[in-house]
Chains A and B, each alone.
Chain A
């Protein structure tokens, strides 16, 4: 593992390159209010971030990333379009022994630009690809928005689509729900009894959840039971979409073929085509970039469009760089306002390691 000085020096070099690419350097406090991060990420962040108590400000976290404070600063006072860069340490608890460290530098580059999202995606990826080119990393990309469009296009109840969309980032639950809606798994006995009119249990009502909330859910379960199961064909199409994993140009061809049966993804496939064209125009060799449809699904729910990573060979190591589009996050943090945003981070410590080994 590179020492801090080497990581910092490498980070400074990356930061200079980000500035040269037009970004303004920003700072973020190391101590961040826990509430906003917890609200966004839920319980997972508590397992991954160091939480501490401030006597006046309450629960605080050692910053687990820069994205949230940078977005907050931009929403509060930024002019558009904007390009930001930053360098600093982030802190992540590690629950397992191994090569992952709890404290490391991130050098980041974020673009807030409404004009041409695919061009902004390509700008970030191409910049990272150029800076990391000497390390000969494995580059991969995906598009969470494509998956979301596919779900939105299903011919089924809006409630089912909403439940599936909520679990895009939790593949296990997503697929369990998909099988449930397709009628492929048996209805649990208690639900079957409830649907056939089992009465209210003989227990006093306790707790904050209101009887009306239960009534609403029972009504939703009844509506779900009355609706036609999701067509087996639709499930097969989704499975085929999630399984796409090929060099980007071939993946695009496969997705075009899938789109002929799934018109809902046609727009997203067109956007992917524009993104790939913009990448090629910036000199990225598309044959060396894999498009993996499920890329980014196992991360925290954050990215909702283009996602990418650059990874070195080596078991258990985190990606050297990763990033993506997070339009929805800006809407949540902007309290009504939003701006299309895309960005990513490089880990200078890993870059210094790989350069030292070369």
Chain B
């Protein structure tokens, strides 16, 4: 049985993943035409490469359809309930850095912390008759973060793209989104709360606890871990 390794199928994340493995002796490459999602592996036996959208890799790991996968640590926490029971983090990979943060309009001089946001939300609800809206696609991470911080009187509104524009478009009062440089936030007249860092994400190599590790897959993992210089996880 082959060990299936799921990696992002396109873009910079794919290239950096390939580079990371190549530096450790495992050569991954796409085969066929540019548009065909076929791939090959050199440097280890019994490994099959599966090209997937980074957003689908957590789900495929949870289902055990792939043994190993590369995706953002934010996506694993967002998409999988009780993620630690479903996947094991083998190692952070040192690229794909992005912060999930909470941001409000830069013009709000009175709001700099979660405590301020909570107080503003209470007053907003009294004034407008509904809860202060936070636009995001990271519902679980944001909700857990705000619950832990004891923030009330907010609601999450789903935003799958152009999230930074929701405040200006009057569909949200605040946003929770991924940023690396903060430029898009500034361009949209938003500022990050001083204690508004929800999660620092980076590309991570993960193992599926629910995959079939028999028939040689476990042995292949031993070999890969030795090559990568990482501890063999308990899966």
Q: Does B146 contact A (CB under 8 A)?
A: yes
Q: How far is the CB of A247 from chain B (nearest CB, A)?
A: 31
B147–A44 touching, CB < 8 Å:
yes
Q: Inside 8 A of B149's CB, which chain A residues have their CB?
A: 172-173
Q: Does A336 contact B (CB under 8 A)?
A: no
Q: Does B127 contact A (CB under 8 A)?
A: yes
What residue in chain B is nearest A214 (Cβ atoms)? B110
A47–B143 touching, CB < 8 Å:
yes
- From known contacts A97-B82, A163-B122, A213-B123, infer whether A188 and B194 are also in contact, taking CB-CB under 8 Å: yes
Q: Inside 8 A of A3's CB, which chain B residues have their CB?
A: none
Q: Does B155 contact A (CB under 8 A)?
A: yes
Complex alpha-carbon distance, A214 and B170, angstroms: 17
Q: Inside 8 A of B120's CB, which chain A residues have their CB?
A: 209, 213, 217
Interface residues of B in 117-171 (CB under 8 A from A): 118-120, 122-124, 127-128, 131, 140, 143, 146-156, 167-168, 170
Interface residues of A in 201-218 (CB under 8 A from B): 201, 203-210, 213-214, 216-218
Complex alpha-carbon distance, A216 and B191, angstroms: 21
Q: How far is the CB of A250 from chain B (nearest CB, A)?
A: 31
B107–A166 touching, CB < 8 Å:
no
Q: Does A114 contact B (CB under 8 A)?
A: no
Dominant secondary structure at the B interface: mixed
Of residues A46, A180, A208, which shows the largest number of chain B Cβ atoms within 10 Å of its Cβ? A208
Q: Inside 8 A of B123's CB, which chain A residues have their CB?
A: 213, 216-217
A207–B109 touching, CB < 8 Å:
no
Complex alpha-carbon distance, A166 and B122, angstroms: 9
A172–B112 touching, CB < 8 Å:
no
Q: Inside 8 A of A207's CB, which chain B residues have their CB?
A: 105, 107, 167-168, 170, 173
A38–B109 touching, CB < 8 Å:
no
With an 8 Å Cβ cutoff, the count of chain A residues facing the other chain is 42
A170–B81 touching, CB < 8 Å:
no
A200–B173 touching, CB < 8 Å:
no
Q: Inside 8 A of A173's CB, which chain B residues have their CB?
A: 115, 118, 149-152
Q: Does A43 contact B (CB under 8 A)?
A: yes
What residue in chain A is nearest B116 (Cβ atoms)? A191
The residue from A38, A206, A221 contacting B107, defined by CB atoms under 8 A apart: A206
Q: Inside 8 A of A206's CB, which chain B residues have their CB?
A: 105, 107, 167-168, 189
- From known contacts A166-B122, A206-B189, A209-B108, infer whether A43 and B156 are also in contact, taking CB-CB under 8 Å: yes
Q: Does B184 contact A (CB under 8 A)?
A: no
The residue from A167, A180, A200, A209 contacting B124, defined by CB atoms under 8 A apart: A209
Q: Inside 8 A of B31's CB, which chain A residues have their CB?
A: none
B152–A42 touching, CB < 8 Å:
yes
B153–A42 touching, CB < 8 Å:
yes
Q: Does A96 contact B (CB under 8 A)?
A: yes
Q: Does A133 contact B (CB under 8 A)?
A: no
B109–A194 touching, CB < 8 Å:
yes
B112–A95 touching, CB < 8 Å:
no
- From known contacts A201-B109, A206-B105, A208-B170, infer whether A46 and B156 are also in contact, taking CB-CB under 8 Å: yes
Complex alpha-carbon distance, A198 and B123, angstroms: 22
Complex alpha-carbon distance, A171 and B150, angstroms: 8
Complex alpha-carbon distance, A180 and B128, angstroms: 27
- From known contacts A208-B128, A216-B123, infer whether A190 and B194 are also in contact, taking CB-CB under 8 Å: yes
Complex alpha-carbon distance, A216 and B123, angstroms: 9
Complex alpha-carbon distance, A172 and B156, angstroms: 21
Q: Does B113 contact A (CB under 8 A)?
A: yes
- From known contacts A167-B150, A206-B168, A217-B123, infer whether A190 and B113 are also in contact, taking CB-CB under 8 Å: yes
Question: Could you name 6 residue pairs across A and B whose Cβ atoms are closer than 8 Å?
Answer: A43-B154, A43-B156, A163-B119, A190-B112, A214-B109, A218-B110
> Interface of B with A (CB < 8 Å)?
81-82, 85, 105-110, 112-113, 115-116, 118-120, 122-124, 127-128, 131, 140, 143, 146-156, 167-168, 170, 173, 189, 191, 194
Starting from the known contacts A174-B150, A221-B110, 9 additional A-B residue pairs (CB-CB under 8 Å) come to A38-B155, A95-B140, A167-B152, A201-B107, A206-B105, A209-B120, A209-B173, A214-B107, A217-B123
